[in-house]
Chain A
Amino acid sequence: MDVESAAIARSSREQVLKGALVAGGAVAAGGAILGGLPGVASSAPSPAQDIRVLNLALLIEYVEAAFYAEARAKDVLSGELRDFVVVVGAHEQQHLAFLKKALGSKARAKPRLVFGKATTDPDAFLKAAVALEDTGVAAYNGQATNLTRGALAVAAKIVSVEGRHAAWIRAIAGKPPAADATDPAMTEAQALAALRSTGFLRS
């Protein structure tokens, strides 16, 4: 998702949260609130909905885990990038295993993925890794209110690690690891669109 769309996602959430504006509060003008866009949809939490949300998380982890696994196997990236691939790849494998186990027979199928040069070319890798990790954070955050509190507590253990990954790869890339006071949230549709825009998904 590009910067503008992420800003829109964030502003929409802020608009939803501003239901009753802080009376006399010092709400600064920074961060334009864009009208006309739907807020992040929130439906009543339920075990069935947890499954849907966790399957979205599973899809993201499938992509990340496979991406880093291929990068590691091809073994072209070096230095900091290689260290990132090794450490973060191991985390994503653990996330993947955890979510597959939690979902059991309800787990979605593994997607068909093609990464092209993104697992060997440093610039392409950086761009993809930043996009995937930032998308992961935004997707998890966007679903927080859709989860039962039990599932939320579990998802929370993963999302902060994705936030660490995101900041780390941004630092390596020379981008700001965390420039804003809040992290944008994405709807399921936005997260899927962001994943598809990587060009990696073939199914």
Chain B
Amino acid sequence: MNDLMLGEVDEDGAICEAIERVVGTRADFLRKATVGGAALLGVLALPPAGAAATAKDVDILNYALTLEYLQASFYTEAERVRALRGKARQAANVVGAVERAHVQAFRAALGSAAIARPKFNFRGVTENQRKFLRTAVAFEDLAVAAYKGQAPRLDSDALLAVAVSIHSVEARHAAWMRYLFGIVPAAEAFDEPLSRSRVTEIVSSTGFITSAGQTQRKGKPQFTG
């Protein structure tokens, strides 16, 4: 699990302490985060990947989809298990809705080329708030690095525009979860990309994916967990 902590933990604790003095919840934040926010979560207007996308772009989209499946399933399970309280619960609900919207959008864009949802076992991390937050931080930091690694590789400008937009949203999520966990939301001035092989290695090491998804068209899985 230590491999997942990509960010730097605040060592002297001063910032940790400051962040843990939680600002009082305001009613309108609650409303916006759940009702208002949810209303704005339309499916992303992705161009149809099947029709015009290059094989490379389809491959990158499926890689992104796999990471979104991982996140969406994680937040969905956390919501169902009901181990979270207060601001962590609110955050999980909002962020989970967004990740599910990302899954929906990529699946719609990929059509029959979409990789199927892998099977996950989150090994109890959704059942404890601390463990949940630590894992959420790791997932979101990882997603930022993954999108950053792939965006410049995309052939399509339209997909690039969508990728950068999701990339910054994941960065917001990362900061949000770090804030709730009690570590500095932005540890460095520059965030680094991660290669696909490194991301795959990290995800693999968690053991969360118990069976790989497969595309409907090809016999072998796109993503080996």
Choose among B25, B37, B178 the residue that contacts A179 (Cβ–Cβ < 8 A): B37
Interface of A is mostly: helix
CA distance A13 to B157 in the complex (A): 12
Q: Could you tell me the distance between the alpha carbons of A112 and B11 in the complex, rounded to whole angstroms?
A: 37
The answer to whether B160 touches A182 (Cβ under 8 A) is no
Complex: chain B residue closest to A165, CB-CB: B186
Contacting pair A177 B52 (CB below 8 A): no
Task: List CB contacts (< 8 Å) of A157-171 with chain B.
Answer: 157-168, 171
A157 to B151, CA, bound (A): 12
> Is the CB–CB distance between B37 and A23 below 8 Å?
no
Q: Are A80 and B18 in contact (CB-based, < 8 A)?
A: yes
We find that the number of chain B residues with CB closer than 8 angstroms to chain A is: 70
B101 at the interface (CB under 8 A from A): yes
> 10 A–B contact pairs at CB < 8 A?
A14-B45, A18-B47, A22-B108, A28-B104, A30-B41, A140-B168, A153-B193, A156-B164, A164-B185, A179-B94
Query: Lowest 6 A-B CB distances belong to which pairs?
Result: A30-B42, A163-B171, A178-B172, A179-B37, A31-B42, A164-B186
- Which stretch (B28-36, B78-86, B207-215) binds chain A? B28-36
Q: Chain A residues near B166 (CB, 8 Å)?
A: 181-182
Q: B70 at the A/B interface (Cβ < 8 Å)?
A: no
Most-contacted residue by chain A among B102, B168, B191, B193 (CB, 10 A): B168
